[in-house]
Amino acid sequence: MEKELKHSQITGEVIGACMRVHSELGNGFQEKIYQKCVEIEFQNLAMPFERELVMPLYYKKQKVGSRRVDFLVADKVLLELKAVTEITTTHHSQILNYLQAYQLQIGLLINFGEESLKFKRFINSKFKN
């Protein structure tokens, strides 16, 4: 039986992988480049993930569309990557909305676009296990 990964372990490994990518590349590349590099890091860690996963969006239990998420890690953690000069409250709202729509508890927003890697962990307060 495979050992279940805890949220804190997953987020720690994800942040570490992203730090390695940022240390190697720095800022200034397109988001897609960082996605491919993070994918390589996850493969090296044998971290279960899905990249550019199309997930359905629901409103009052009715499907209203879908959205492609950057990564779903270990079926538990939503990972959104950015390569922008500054993270805004709109980015924060986006990931919180995704967590609620996809019924996930934890999300990470990671920005490769600044001189230092920036990351923020989000918790879906409306998550029901």
The 10s digit of each residue's pLDDT in 44-53 is 999 999 999 8
Q: Tell me whether residue 89 is in a domain.
A: yes
- pLDDT exceeds cutoff 90 at 125: no
Q: How far is CA 56 from the centre of its chain?
A: 16
Q: Tell me whether residue 2 is in a domain.
A: no
DSSP 116: S
The domain tally of the chain equals: 1
pLDDT by residue (tens digit) across 10-31?
Answer: 999 999 999 999 999 999 999 9
CATH number at residue 55: 3.90.320.10
Q: What phi and psi, each to the nearest 5 degrees, are found at residue 53?
A: -80, 130
Q: Tell me whether residue 1 is in a domain.
A: no
Q: Tell me whether residue 60 is in a domain.
A: yes
| Cα distance between residue 123 and residue 102, in whole Å | 13
Bridge-partner residues for 81, per DSSP?
Answer: 110
* pTM for the whole structure: 0.89
Neighbours of 107 (CB within 10 A): 22
pLDDT band at 128 (very low <50, low <70, confident <90, very high): confident
pLDDT by residue (tens digit) across 92-109?
Answer: 999 998 898 888 999 999
- Domain hosting 34: range is 7-123
Is the separation of the CB atoms in 3 and 10 below 8 Å?
A: no
- pLDDT exceeds cutoff 80 at 58: no
Contacts of 22 (CB under 8 A, 6+ apart): 112, 116, 117
Bridge-partner residues for 67, per DSSP?
Answer: 55
